[in-house]
Structure 1
Amino acid sequence: MERHGGLRGTLPILVGASVMLSVAMGLRQSLGIFMPPLTAELAISVADFALAIAIQNLTWGLCQPFAGWLVASWGFRPVMLAGAVLYVAGMALLAGAGGLVAVMLGAGLTIGVAMAFASASMAMAVTARVVSPERRSTLLGVVSAAGSVGALVAAPIGQILSVDHGWRVGVMGFVVLALAMIPAAWMAGRVDGLAPPASVPGGSDGLTARAALRVAARRAPFVVMTLAYFVCGMQLVFLTTHLPSYLVLCGLDPLLSATALGTIGGFNVLGSLFFGWAGGRWNKPMLLGGIYIARSLAIAWYFVQAPTPESTVLFAAVMGFLWLGVAPLVTGMVAEMFGLRWLAMLQGVTFLSHQVGSFVGAFGGGWVFDALGSYDLALQLGVGLGLFAGVVQILFALLPRPRLPQPA
């Protein structure tokens, strides 16, 4: 099934990548749990906390192409280990925060750099290197599903510790969980000892980094996918950042936010497995467009009515199924277009667009709430842009694909 030595050689690599991704994504997706008590104790606004999360996402996106370039120069293991250590440091800094600056440095800048070095793009690039092209999409979906398991564990632990002992103890619980990223990154780094993968026709494996970027910028499918990815980040990070606050404003039990985030994580597993499997059988850009449209319709349905515990859990289940399913599709498309040598870097370029959208979703949502006293405008913009991105992605997928030139 796997290349470069069979299952015995690649299974530890896949397990390491899965654990690293699970912890990294699970913890950062659950930070919104701490927003109400943290902002109250430190006397900062919702917009201030949202700005820290926005800085995290923007830093993550800005550093991701650079991290991908470092992988081609240094290898995966040193890059991912550095990211794991930074992640622990960022959580520890947040746990001891005494004001806005420490929140910005911990939850924002440090964790943002850590995510670029040791989370989704790295785990996906590692997986793509050790599995055969025929099984790539399915295995990418399996590893992507692991990124959802972390939220199932982190959200309830963080919420219970925060309610019973205060938000600082809750964040310290996250510090302990983050330590698991270090041995996981070491295991996943065994990919550096494998033989280099074969090139793909019309790819960029034989090019320099700068030439590979130029080739990608001229590929219309890559450009459309990258721009649509902006909306993906905007919608998802808006929800992870502001849904807990929205539920509190609506007078619902604060523990419901942990239930919702945990439900997202659980159904995320199913969605990642499904879209990983589907991406190996059907048109990946069409599937991407369908995800964006379905998400937007689900958001519109949920927020036009007063939330209840039942509707919140149902909404979380639908969004969870549609959450990380984009990861195996995007990674698979980039690998098919350009090969594997510069996969981490080029996927980082697409992810930069995603994270600019995440910045807008986190900070823009908080700014709109502070300015207008409600999330209505932010939701309207999120739904409208999501429908537009989905339709454009599908329409472009219907166009005939041009014959790709061979690299010089």
Structure 2
Amino acid sequence: MNHLRALRPVLPILIGASLLLTLSMGLRQSIGIFVPPLTQDIGISVGQFTLAVAVQNLAWGLFQPFAGAWADRLGYRRLMLGGALLYIAGLAVLMLAQGFIAVLIGAGIAIGASMAATGPAIAMAVSARPVSPAVRSTVLGIVSAAGSLGAMVAAPLGQVLAQAWDWRVGVAGFVALALAMLPAAWHAGKVDAAPSATPPTTTDKLGARAAARVALRTPAFIVMALAYFVCGMQLVFLTTHLPTYLDLCGMDPMLSAQALGAIGAFNILGSLFFGWAGGRWNKLLLLGVIYFVRSLVLGLYFVAPPTPATTLVFASVMGFLWMGVGPLVAGWLVEAFGLRWQAMLGGIAFVSHQLGSTTGAFGGGLIFDAAGSYDAAWQIGVALGLAAGVVQMAFAFIHQRPQPPRPAPA
């Protein structure tokens, strides 16, 4: 209880980080609902749209390490406010798009770069700094859970507006929601003046390049980052291609929004559970379990034709296993390397995640355009996911759990 009372002064920071995360993730995850009407209206292919999504994920991954380093120089408030403005601009460009180039700039480059300053890595870093180690994993799980609410609002709202008017009105609704990112970033930015609840470590005393070298020479970090590739590939394949897959199978278009909403709803439970579990068990082992079980569920769903019931059950289970990865990765990075460079080191690992995301989005589109189905795409995703889960779990068993870093000498 004393630990929970100690959170009261930092609640504005945690609430701001949660709102920023829920909007940035929820809007991005829901863009896939516009694929069928958008591509037909402006005359581009599904493959071209997924190329824009692939560029988005690649830009996000490439900018993430720099955003983590810039936060130490510029402060989190400036970084997050700039990212929120760029996000709004990207959605506005998408809303006005008349061809592929505008889609590439708006949905691809602008939103991708903005995610580096408003997404999970920054939100987790902001949330970890002002809280004590005793409650840090739980707090990260709570913030991650709150960050899952966006898809529950954005996907149904966008689908209703698109069906009542057209997809441009749906994206306009997204722009209106994104405006709330600005006050959220302002309040989360109060972390710049908040004292750290954790003593500095030896890694905290290093420069950015030296800290990166330490991480890249740590075997546990390398394995975690490589498994992160498969995580990104599976999740972005689903958010990008599930609406199109359901449309091909003759499902009601509203089912796509309901499935994305179910993912967001069960994301809350999964984030809370894995945030709690990460404070008690080996975080790397839990990551391996997520990857392995997620791949099994993915294979079971795609092996048979979908129905509304199986789709919602599938979305619910995947949602439970979705963003629980976030608090586990963020918490392990703090344990292994300290707080100062957490966002940057998380960004370096996230490059691998986003290369996987690019593969899932663009590769899935290429396979669909070439074969007319998603069979090969989901089979590859399942095989790689099972392998990543087994390797991550095996490494967690044989590798000693990282001890909390020692405080640096005065």
What TM-score range do you get, normalising by the shorter chain?
over 0.9
Residues 188-267 of structure 1: pairs in structure 2 closer than 5 A: 188-199=188-199, 203-267=202-266
Q: CA deviation at 1:118?
A: 1.1
In the alignment, which residue of structure 1 is the partner of 2:15?
Answer: 15
Q: CA deviation at 1:403?
A: 8.1
Q: Judge conservation of contact 2:129–2:198 (CA < 8 Å) in 1.
A: no
In the alignment, which residue of structure 2 is the partner of 1:389?
Answer: 388
In the alignment, which residue of structure 2 is the partner of 1:321?
Answer: 320
3-state SS, counterpart of residue 195 of structure 1: coil
Q: CA deviation at 1:262?
A: 0.3
Amino acid at match of 1:380: Q
Q: CA deviation at 1:198?
A: 3.4
3-state SS, counterpart of residue 191 of structure 1: helix
In the alignment, which residue of structure 2 is the partner of 1:35?
Answer: 35
CA distance in 1, matches of 2:215, 2:394: 20
Q: CA deviation at 1:131?
A: 1.0
Amino acid at match of 1:310: A
3-state SS, counterpart of residue 147 of structure 2: helix
Q: CA deviation at 1:402?
A: 8.3
Q: CA deviation at 1:200?
A: 5.8
Q: CA deviation at 1:8?
A: 3.4
Residues 295-310 of structure 1: pairs in structure 2 closer than 5 A: 295-310=294-309
Q: Which moved more, 1:210-219 or 1:398-407?
A: 398-407
Amino acid at match of 1:327: G
Amino acid at match of 1:105: I
In the alignment, which residue of structure 2 is the partner of 1:163?
Answer: 163
3-state SS, counterpart of residue 205 of structure 1: coil
Q: CA deviation at 1:147?
A: 1.5
Residues 138-177 of structure 1: pairs in structure 2 closer than 5 A: 138-177=138-177
In the alignment, which residue of structure 2 is the partner of 1:136?
Answer: 136
Q: CA deviation at 1:276?
A: 0.3
TM-score normalised per structure 2: 0.96
CA distance in 1, matches of 2:196, 2:259: 42
CA distance in 2, matches of 1:267, 1:141: 13
User: For each residue in 1:226-271, what CA deviation from the matched residue of structure 2 results, as whole angstroms up to 9, or x when unmatched?
Assistant: 1100000000000000000000000110110000000000000000
3-state SS, counterpart of residue 340 of structure 1: coil
Q: Judge conservation of contact 1:152–1:261 (CA < 8 Å) in 2.
A: yes
User: For each residue in 1:73-132, what CA deviation from the matched residue of structure 2 results, as whole angstroms up to 9, or x when unmatched?
Assistant: 111000000000001100011000010000000000000111001121111000110111
State how many pairs are aligned: 407
Q: Judge conservation of contact 1:148–1:268 (CA < 8 Å) in 2.
A: yes
Amino acid at match of 1:173: G
Any gaps of 5 or more consecutive residues in structure 1? none
- CA change 1:94–1:183 in 2 (3 A) is same
3-state SS, counterpart of residue 64 of structure 1: helix
Amino acid at match of 2:281: W
CA distance in 2, matches of 1:131, 1:2: 12
Matching of residue 76 in structure 1 with residue 76 in structure 2: yes
Q: Judge conservation of contact 1:200–1:336 (CA < 8 Å) in 2.
A: no
Q: Judge conservation of contact 2:220–2:399 (CA < 8 Å) in 1.
A: no
3-state SS, counterpart of residue 340 of structure 2: coil
Amino acid at match of 2:11: L
CA distance in 1, matches of 2:349, 2:402: 22
CA distance in 2, matches of 1:200, 1:69: 17
CA distance in 1, matches of 2:401, 2:85: 44
Matching of residue 355 in structure 1 with residue 349 in structure 2: no
In the alignment, which residue of structure 1 is the partner of 2:290?
Answer: 291
Amino acid at match of 2:214: V
Query: Percentage identity across aligned positions?
Result: 62
Q: CA deviation at 1:9?
A: 2.1
In the alignment, which residue of structure 2 is the partner of 1:281?
Answer: 280
Q: CA deviation at 1:13?
A: 0.4
Q: CA deviation at 1:146?
A: 1.2
Q: Judge conservation of contact 1:368–1:374 (CA < 8 Å) in 2.
A: yes
In the alignment, which residue of structure 1 is the partner of 2:98?
Answer: 98
3-state SS, counterpart of residue 380 of structure 1: helix
Q: CA deviation at 1:195?
A: 2.2
Q: Judge conservation of contact 1:2–1:131 (CA < 8 Å) in 2.
A: no
In the alignment, which residue of structure 2 is the partner of 1:331?
Answer: 330
3-state SS, counterpart of residue 398 of structure 1: helix
Amino acid at match of 2:316: A
Q: CA deviation at 1:6?
A: 3.5
Q: Over aligned residues, Cα RMSD in angstroms?
A: 1.7
In the alignment, which residue of structure 2 is the partner of 1:52?
Answer: 52
CA distance in 1, matches of 2:390, 2:38: 39
3-state SS, counterpart of residue 148 of structure 2: helix
Q: CA deviation at 1:199?
A: 3.9
Q: Judge conservation of contact 2:133–2:198 (CA < 8 Å) in 1.
A: no
In the alignment, which residue of structure 1 is the partner of 2:371?
Answer: 372
CA distance in 2, matches of 1:283, 1:6: 26
Amino acid at match of 2:65: P
Q: After TM superposition, which residue ranges in structure 1, 4 or more long, deviate above 4 angstroms? A: 402-408
TM-score normalised per structure 1: 0.97
CA distance in 2, matches of 1:303, 1:402: 36
CA distance in 2, matches of 1:200, 1:91: 39
3-state SS, counterpart of residue 341 of structure 1: coil
CA distance in 1, matches of 2:39, 2:399: 52
Any gaps of 5 or more consecutive residues in structure 2? none
CA distance in 2, matches of 1:8, 1:145: 19
Amino acid at match of 2:36: P
In the alignment, which residue of structure 2 is the partner of 1:107?
Answer: 107
CA distance in 2, matches of 1:119, 1:227: 20
Amino acid at match of 1:110: A
Q: Judge conservation of contact 2:63–2:113 (CA < 8 Å) in 1.
A: yes
- CA change 1:328–1:321 in 2 (3 A) is same
